Amino acid sequence: MVAETKTKKRTKARVKVREGKVFIQSSYNNTIVTVTDMMGNVLVTSSAGRVGFAGARKATPYAAQRVVTHIMEQVQPIGLEEVRVYVKGIGSAREAAVRSLSGAGLTITSIRDITPIPHNGVRPKKRRRV
């Protein structure tokens, strides 16, 4: 006889968060959106690849819009109302993601560009002598 074991499925306790931060990382290959609380603890994250896009379609503005709608479905039980948006990267999906965030009903208090910019860079290669 095989003993039956009852397994309890543990559910994560959802914390109600009124305001948070949204990090949008947009590159030439993908768009990643992460929602955190004000302390920086990750609540929800998603990307264009996770939503179902593949290849070059992951970097399109439409894919970024779909990522934000996917994020909003997961954020609904948390009760997020106000967000600060931090945009990073050079992809074409940056503006589309911010626009769809505001269209989803969130109040955007600030938008910051945190793209890393080199101030001087590395030393160049030595000049070639022929």
DSSP string covering 26-88: E-SS-EEEEEEETT--EEEEEEHHHHT--GGGGGSHHHHHHHHHHHHHHHGGGT--EEEEEEE
| CATH number corresponding to 19-104 | 3.30.420.80
At 124, is the secondary structure helix, strand, or coil?
coil
pLDDT at 106: 92
- Give yes or no for residue 75 having a pLDDT over 60: yes
Q: E strand or H helix at 102, and its extent? A: helix 94-103
- Give yes or no for residue 97 having a pLDDT over 90: yes
What are the domain boundaries of the chain? 19-104
Q: What is the chain's mean pLDDT, rounded?
A: 90
pLDDT at 9: 65
- 0.95 cut: is pTM over it? no
- Give yes or no for residue 58 having a pLDDT over 80: yes
pLDDT at 11: 61
